[in-house]
Amino acid sequence: MTTLAHATSEKNADTRERLLLMALRLYAREGLHAVSLRRISIEAGSKNSAAMHYHFHNKTGVIQALIDMIANELGHIATALRPEHLSKRSLRSACRDTLRPLVKLPARQRWGADGVKFLSRLVSESDAEISSMVNAMCAPFSQRLDRALAEELPALPTPVRRLRLMFMSTNVFHGVAEVFWLTHTPLGDLSHFDEDTLLDHLVDYLIGGLQAPSLTTP
């Protein structure tokens, strides 16, 4: 690659990243349907108002690029946190290990807090195409927890088990995204817990719901 071509490639990569991070910030704070691609281009400082279309084609392309970026970082965090010697894990440890990368993301990347808020908006989307992209990202985590729960509670009907996992997933994304509200709850300031302690209490809460006896048939 010539020096000029290399410089052009680096410039395009820098522009793409700048656009992507601006899209993440705006989508996280204002929602997917409140922000146009043109506005993202302008607020990212691009002289070309069509820059988003050039790099991502359309909004679906932007959302997929953001999902890929976040999923890639969560994978790196999970790998870094994974113990060297894996033994058979309890349901609690499986839940904790699965949730830990998401809880750690805001501290690991400057865009991490926006990333979690963006994910919390995605899981509430009814758009079929967006749901398909979210499902593709979340499937490995959901399936891992589903297997752990099936082994731990074999008597729990499969439809009930999976419904509880979906309730849990939604609660986790929204709870982690809006953790700042703990400073002003109706019961006072609960923000004094450190990150790991909050994760432990979150896991305890979720395990209680997952293990509750089923009082109805699926």
Asked if residues 149 and 165 have their Cβ atoms less than 8 Å apart, the reply is yes
| CATH fourth-level superfamily of 70-211 | Tetracycline Repressor, domain 2 (1.10.357.10)
CATH 1.10.357.10 residue spans of the chain:
70-211
CATH for 1-57, options being 1.10.10, 3.90.1720, 1.25.40, 1.10.357: 1.10.10
> 84-103 as b/e, with b when 16 or more CB fall inside 10 Å?
eeeeeeebbebbbbbbbbbb
One pLDDT digit (tens) per residue for the chain, 218 residues: 565 444 445 466 788 999 999 999 999 999 999 999 999 999 999 888 788 999 999 999 999 999 999 999 999 999 998 765 556 678 888 888 889 999 999 999 999 999 999 999 998 888 899 999 999 988 888 888 898 889 888 989 999 999 999 998 889 999 999 888 889 999 999 989 888 999 999 999 999 988 888 876 55
CATH 1.10.10 residue spans of the chain:
1-57
Question: What's the predicted TM-score (pTM) here?
Answer: 0.85
